[in-house]
Structure 1
Amino acid sequence: MSDSPDVELPRGVALAWGIASSPQRGPKREMSVEKIVDAAVAIADAEGLGAVSMAAVAARLGFTPMSLYRYVTAKDDLLLLMQEQATGLPPEEVREVDGWREKLQVLYGAQMHRYLEHPWLLEVPITGAPATPNSAAWIDAGLVALDGTPLTHDERMAVSLLVAGHARWAGMVTVGYARTQGAAGVDESQFAAREDALFRDLITADAYPALRAAIDAGVFLGDSDPFAFGLARSLDGVAAYLAGAEEGRRDAPIAWPRDDNADIAGDKRFRDARKAVHAAEKALRDARRLERVAAREAKSRLG
Structure 2
Amino acid sequence: MSSDDTIEQLPSGIALAWGVAATPQRGPKREMSVEKIVDAAIEIADSDGIQAVSMSAVAKRLGYTPMSLYRYVSSKDDLLLLMQEEATGLPPEADGEVVGWRARLSELYQAQSLIYARQPWLLSMPITGSPITPNSSAWLEAGLEALSDTGLSEEERIAVSLLVTGAARWKGLIAAGYEEQSRTTGLDAAEVASREQRLFDAVITEDGYPFLRRAIDAGVFTSDSDPFDFGLERGFDGVEAFIDGVERRRSGTESGTADGSGATSSADSSGDAAGEAADGQAAIADDDPDVIADKKLREAQKAVRQAQKVLAEARKRERQVRREAKERVAKRR
Please classify the TM superposition score into its range, dividing by the shorter chain length: 0.7 to 0.9
Query: Partners in 1 of 2:325 and 2:187 — Cα distance?
Result: 34
Partner of 1:25: 26
Q: Any conservation in 2 of the 1:90–1:110 contact (CA below 8 Å)?
A: yes
Q: TM-score, structure 1 length as denominator?
A: 0.81
Tell me if the contact between 1:26 and 1:70 (Cα under 8 Å) persists in the aligned partners: yes
- Hey, what does 2:138 align to over in structure 1? 137
Does the C-alpha gap of structure 1 residues 294 and 93 become closer, same or farther in structure 2, counting only changes over 3 Å?
farther
Aligned to 1:38: 39
Give the aligned partner of residue 206 of structure 1.
207
Structure 1 unaligned spans of 5+ = 255-284
Determine the structure 2 residue equivalent to 1:3: 3
CA distance in 2, matches of 1:117, 1:296: 49
CA change 1:298–1:103 in 2 (3 A) is farther
Of residues 84-93 and 56-65 in structure 1, the stretch that sits farther from structure 2 once superposed is 84-93
The one-letter amino acid of 2:163's match is L
Radius of gyration: which is bigger?
Answer: 2
Structure 2: which amino acid aligns with 1:5? D
- Verify the 8 A CA contact 1:72 1:78 in the aligned structure 2: yes
**Structure 2 residue runs without a partner (length 5+):** 250-289, 299-315
Greater fraction helix: 2
Structure 2 CA distance for partners of 1:146 and 1:52, relative to 1, 3 Å: same
Q: Give, in whole Å, the separation in 2 of the partners of 1:53 and 1:204.
A: 47
Q: Distance in 2 between matches of 1:293 and 1:41?
A: 53
CA RMSD of aligned residues (A): 2.7
Q: TM-score when scaled to structure 2?
A: 0.74
Structure 1 residue 207: deviation in Å? Answer: 3.1
Shift of 1:63: 0.4
Aligned to 1:172: 173
Identity of aligned residues (%): 59
Closer/same/farther in 2, CA of residues 9 and 205 from structure 1, 3 Å limit = same
Deviation of residue 28 (structure 1)? 4.1
Cα distance per residue 1:137-187 (max 9 Å; x no partner): 000010111121111111111000001000000001111122222333333
- Alignment match, 1:99: 100
Residues 159-238 of structure 1: matches in 2 within 5 Å? Answer: 159-238=160-239
> Aligned equivalents of 1:202 and 1:158: distance in 2?
38
Give the distance between the partners of 2:35 and 2:329, measured in 1 at CA: 64
Please list the CA deviations of residues 231-266 of structure 1 after superposition, one character each: whole Å capped at 9, or x if unmatched: 0100000000010011126779x9xxxxxxxxxxxx
> For residue 13 of structure 1, what is the aligned residue in structure 2?
14
